[in-house]
Chains A and B, each alone.
Chain A
């Protein structure tokens, strides 16, 4: 992004620090619990928020070299992302064109193409059907159009966006809007994948986005891991459909004594970014070994379950054994925070909601990104939060 924009945000942070108060958003917002547990809403979300919109589905670092692939999913739709031999990334539906069997299992790999385990049909990294055992058993014209089904894909600034509908148009700049500049400044193309974790989690997919996008909980939930330092001064910023909360390093205080022309481009702040609807990219700043995380919680078949993808990256290769050890320690710290501290309270919240024990949720002014994201969800599916609150209060008898 323009340096002037970074400077403006840095000044906001400095003002907050001078004022001795964390950032407060405009609004304390009350949300109905149906957004986490209602199956009809859930189905609508899968359609409107996931299957009809572009998705930031991977980082370039997930498949850095020609022949690399990454098999994942968007709301249960199996996606195979492959880097062809000319370095171009393409995404396909991850299903053989003969009888539909999945071609590559979830995760990363490298090869010259994909052979189906069922009847040996083989596709190259460009998705072309290149080998059919007993080819003459099929009509030639039937095989003419049996390449893998290609999805609109765009790679830039170290991220890969895919539209899950084969015939949709994908406008990367329009999708990311001003968030593109924020991501660009992270230089995601410089990162390397360090660790991946994928598990079925007993939460609605939104709980993990919510958990990643506010620091109000940090001193209570992460006192010994993330600690309480630096949790205080985090402006929330909207960038198009997307939201960021801003972290700063102590060095930001030194900027006050320097002319703006000498401020570094980063201005000593970085951000955790929620890319609509469910991608969270955070870290990569000066703290915690520079570890960056990529998180996507894919909706599955029920409102209270998701496929939780959590991936960790570092910038370049470690220069020393010491740096390597420090990176590994940071990776383990992130995994512990995400799966041993954050996830259990999210599961608790989900179960309480399903059990009818929760009338509504509140997102206070220190949870402004959540309010922003949830308003975006509601708008995209045409949901009236106020009406839903009223009807749930009546149903609970309170």
Chain B
């Protein structure tokens, strides 16, 4: 993004530090809990938020080299992303064109994909290149049996896909001003250091919510992320997306320098929620960068939790030696601290023990994201709150 924009945000942070108060958003917002447990809403979300929109599904670092592939999913729809020999990333539906069997799991590198069922083989451009007993099929039927290609664009170290084969995809329009934020993170300077995937007993939104506010940090992460620096985090909207801003102690020194000597980063970074469910967090202060996507599966209370960690390719040997400790820290925070409270929320809600949720002024990104969800599916939160209150008799 323009340096002037970074300077403006740095000045906001410095003002907050001077004032001694964390950032407060404009609104404390009450949300109905149907958003986490209602099956009809959930099915509508899968369609409107996921299957009918572009998704930031991966980082370029997931498939850095020609022949690399990454098999994942968007709301249960199996996606195969492949970097071909020209270095171009393409995405396909991850299903053989003969009888539909899944072609690849997780990450790997190869010349193509052979179906385990009848040996049909596709190259890294998705072309059907080998069919055992080819003459058992009509030529015309095979002419149109390349892998089904999905609209794909790669820029600023991210890969964006539209899960509908015939849809139009405009990465710039999708990311809007968030593109500049991501660009400044230099995502192409990172390499994948660990990938984790599990089925979690939470609605997918709980994990986005958990990643996008620091109000909970002193209470839930006192030993891990601790309380220092957690206090001054302006929330910023960038198009359909939201960021909360983290800064290092170095930012205080900027006050004594003329602005033209401030570094481009201005010593702040951000955790970014890319609509609807991608969370990317990292900054010059952090040794690792995380990428998180919680994919809805079949029920509102279950998701496929993808959590991937990256480190800078430029790391020194000492920094590389410290990576295992950093991985352990991030994994502990995500899966031993954050996830259990999210699971607790989900269970309480499903048990009928929760009337509504509140997102206070220190949880402004959550309010922003949830308003975006509600708008995209045409949900009236006020009406839902009233009807749930009646249903609970409170």
Contacts and interface: CB of A to CB of B under 8 A. Distances in A.
B118 A397 contact: no
Interface stretch (A156-164, A331-339, A353-361): A353-361
B119 A362 contact: no
Interface string B124-146: 00000000110111100100010
B117 interface: yes
B118 A217 contact: yes
A359 B102 contact: no
B82 to A, nearest CB: 15
Interface stretch (A57-65, A137-145, A344-352): A344-352
B141 A358 contact: no
Given A220-B117, A220-B118, A357-B78, A365 B101 contact: no
Contacts of A345: 101, 116-117
A396 interface: yes
A220 B119 contact: yes
Given A30-B141, A345-B117, A358-B100, A397 B76 contact: no
B73 interface: yes
Interface string A29-44: 0100100000000000
B331 interface: no
Interface string A294-333: 0000000000000000000000000000000000000000
A217 B93 contact: no
Given A345-B117, A362-B141, A398-B148, A356 B133 contact: no
B53 interface: no
Interface string B219-234: 0000000000000000
Interface size class of B (residues with CB under 8 A): 20 to 34
A349 B99 contact: yes
A95 interface: no
A22 interface: yes
A217 B100 contact: no
A33 B117 contact: no
A361 B98 contact: yes
Residue among A353, A354, A355, A398 with the highest chain B CB neighbour number at 10 A: A355
B166 interface: yes
A396 B77 CA distance: 12
B137 A365 contact: yes
B117 A217 contact: yes
Contacts of B135: 24, 365
A28 B141 contact: yes
B94 A357 contact: yes
A221 interface: yes
Contacts of B165: 396-398
Contacts, number: 96
Given A219-B119, A366-B136, A398-B148, A355 B77 contact: yes
B167 interface: yes
Most chain B CB neighbours (cut-off 10 Å) among A217, A357, A361: A357
Given A33-B100, A351-B102, A396-B165, A362 B117 contact: no
A386 to B, nearest CB: 13
Contact of B132 (A216, A359, A365, A398): A216
B95 interface: yes
Contacts of B77: 355-357
A352 B95 contact: yes
Nearest to A398: B165
B237 interface: no
A30 B166 CA distance: 22
B95 A221 contact: no
Contacts of B188: none
Interface string A357-398: 111011011110000000000000000000000000000111
A358 B115 CA distance: 14
A106 to B, nearest CB: 27
Interface in A191-214: 210
Given A28-B136, A216-B133, A349-B100, A362 B145 contact: yes
Contacts of A349: 99-101, 117
Contact of A397 (B78, B100, B167): B167
A43 to B, nearest CB: 20
B100 A357 contact: yes
A361 B164 contact: no
A352 B94 contact: yes
B133 A348 contact: no
A219 B115 CA distance: 12
A24 B133 CA distance: 10
Nearest to B94: A357
Contacts of A33: 100
A212 B115 CA distance: 18
Contact of B73 (A355, A358, A397): A355
Contacts of B148: 357, 359, 396, 398
A364 B99 CA distance: 10
A357 B94 CA distance: 7
B101 to A, nearest CB: 5
Interface string B165-197: 111000000000000000000000000000000
A24 B136 CA distance: 6
Interface in A53-78: none
Given A355-B73, A357-B93, A357-B94, A364 B137 contact: yes
A397 B51 CA distance: 12
Interface in A221-260: 221
B137 A28 contact: yes
A33 B102 CA distance: 15
A221 B94 CA distance: 19
B116 A221 contact: yes
A30 B141 CA distance: 8
B325 to A, nearest CB: 38
B138 to A, nearest CB: 5
Nearest to A356: B77
Contacts of B78: 351-352, 355, 357
Contacts of B76: 354-355
Contacts of B136: 24, 28, 216, 364-367
Nearest to A27: B138
Interface of A: 22, 24, 28, 30, 33, 210, 216-217, 219-221, 345, 348-349, 351-359, 361-362, 364-367, 396-398
29 contacts: A24-B136, A28-B138, A28-B141, A210-B99, A216-B133, A220-B116, A220-B119, A220-B132, A221-B116, A345-B117, A348-B100, A348-B101, A349-B101, A352-B100, A354-B76, A355-B73, A356-B77, A357-B78, A357-B148, A359-B97, A361-B98, A362-B97, A362-B99, A362-B137, A362-B141, A364-B98, A364-B136, A397-B165, A398-B166
Interface of B: 51, 73, 76-78, 93-95, 97-102, 115-119, 132-133, 135-138, 141, 145, 148, 164-167
Q: Which 10 A-B pairs have the closest CB atoms?
A: A397-B166, A358-B100, A364-B136, A365-B136, A357-B95, A352-B95, A357-B93, A220-B119, A28-B137, A349-B100
Given A210-B99, A355-B78, 10 more contacts: A220-B117, A221-B118, A348-B102, A351-B102, A355-B77, A365-B133, A365-B135, A365-B136, A366-B133, A396-B164
